[in-house]
Amino acid sequence: MIMPEQVADIFVEVADTLVDEFDLVDFLHNLTDHIADVCQGNATVGLMLVDHDESLHYMASSSDRA
């Protein structure tokens, strides 16, 4: 079950993206960490994005295993 504190932390980080000096790579890494925490257990999360040519690009992960 997701704890309210975890959700609050995620919303605070999302709100931080509204500032001028936003670090996308740091945000994406933190996002994968939060998702792994929410999944509970030994979850490892990787984030990939697809471009207009349908090529996948690695963006961030919660650990080196991903």
Domain residue limits, the chain: 4-61
Tell me the pLDDT band of 1, cut-offs 50, 70 and 90. Answer: low
Q: Please tell me what DSSP assigns to residue 40.
A: -
Q: What is the pLDDT of residue 29?
A: 87
CA angle 6/12/18 to nearest 5° reads 150
Tens of pLDDT, residues 13-66: 888 777 778 888 888 888 888 888 888 767 889 999 999 999 999 999 988 876
Count of C-beta atoms within a 10 Å radius of residue 66: 15
- At residue 66, the pLDDT reads 67
Q: pLDDT band for position 8 (50/70/90)?
A: confident
Separation between Cα atoms, residue 40 and residue 48, nearest integer Å: 21
Decide if 28 contacts 59 (C-beta within 8 A).
yes
